[in-house]
Structure 1
């Protein structure tokens, strides 16, 4: 026997009756899908401390930007080596003044004596937080099933447009019938619009990111077309089409009286938080959603209909985002709606869901924080002459740090997250 024919020490002998099978590489598509799901779980299911630290980092970077854009800071920087105290005092005045103004615009205004005016900023924060919480729940529940619902804008536009049609078309109905009808119709249309993505994923394997992004455009132009037709929403031939104002019987009532803008929409958001928490943590459906989100292949092997879960999750997500659109239409823009129904909330909801780690209570807290950003940003701009766009920069930085958990852990020297 030649040396080439001798078996190597690490080579297992093969019997004559054995069947030799060639090891095949793992399917690339399956590998990419597993990696994307793993990344989503890491981003959306990390510990709360990483989320808090992401906010802290974003605020710190925002403080640097506030100081860099302040005229006094730039002036004192010219002679910082001669009188450094002037420079640091200017930085402190710029940063503290900006965040004090934001606090007065979002929580409590200590510059006035009237108690109603003092606490009015807090009610504005809650008003802005309502649709953000609802939108965050819609995105978050999809995250729990490892699905990227990027179609919040389209679902809000379709749900809000349907609610608006009911809100101004049906005249003479009592509030007890008209208002619930508009709310239900908005949720149903939002659910159907979101369900399209879930059904396509279940039946054809179409990726929900592509489908929901495209449905955003379809929903936008569909409502734009509807606003130009007098038999649908009303202002034919208008360059900036807008619907008629809502009937009084379809407007969400204010919960603290006419002196505050806080309306029933925030109460609906709180109810939605409780319902979603119960569904996710206490129901059989929630268990199946979590199982599919962790490992759809194992869930399918255990008898769970994964395609059905995808469809149901997107129906629920669409209904919640449709309710966010209803909140906007019947509570904030009751004078009439246009194609900017969502007011950017459809995309802000993604940030809220990420910051809340896809947990209902976390989303509630994140929605309140972003509501405070939005309410306080206007005061910061008016009183400190700081662009409200800076608030958007801070929100974007929060997303950046949330999407890079290893970066946050490295900066603050946190221990690595254990693999589940």
Structure 2
């Protein structure tokens, strides 16, 4: 076997081992009919401009053509796009000015493509600490922009609110004010501290049971203004218990990248819709799985999606907030962009053995339309980092 038939991957403790890539891509799902049983969003990454002369703490330089092309890829498979969320490195390389431009461009692209889009509205134009009044004003500014471009709003968890709020009532008043102003029903986002440590104690308590009560109180007071909730706590039992307490008509969108197949499949008392970062690399496969579920074939849905969980848990392992690095690596290996560069220099946030394992798992799943391209690019990355091929 020639060296070009294998990729030598690094072991975490030292040394290397040979991985034999797939020679033929797994059948790539083709676009199909719109989903009927679930509403599904993929949170999408941004593509950096590799030629920009920028520093890690400077404004993001985005390759807009490649970024929008990736969104068209997701829409072509029937997925909605959740824009300017943490997957797009919101608050980790992409500032509010960059996010605002991303929202404007993606919303216009969604109209042209006939794709569904929801966009994150937060408070990241603020410095922390800020007052509750400043938090409210910042949310209002971002909500107004999202609504002005015709996108659905996702009210993101706010670092500034987490720092400014002294009691659960501060959350009730802030969110109540925003929901009364919202022109259309929004999605509320509960992002756990594993995704952003500054959000510890969100909804007014580090006790998740107490925080849940405050969260549900917000929804109960304004059910007509809440389309759904996105829960990103990586706790399947807690999500199931929470969705069973939602008012009629309020959806639960799972953001659990560890347990999504079982949560989307559901049980005899309900199910979760989806708004997931892992559906960025899994887009076509995830879309095919949901179409199988649309036929009532839960077993077929699980058989297709369950094998992807090992990859997802690897990408989202602690520190979870750096999962974006693996997501962008897989986009590069799959041919969706020409380079492995990220805004804020975040391509350096995961170890080489971590990235190598992500490649190996994705290759095994048949995620790469051109396995030889993926292998060639992975060899190049490894060679640059001193792993002989």
Q: Report the TM-score, using the length of structure 2 for normalisation.
A: 0.24
Larger radius of gyration: 1
Structure whose residues are more often strand by fraction: 2
Which structure has more relative contact order (CA 8 Å, sep 6+)? It is 1
Q: Report the TM-score, using the length of structure 1 for normalisation.
A: 0.23
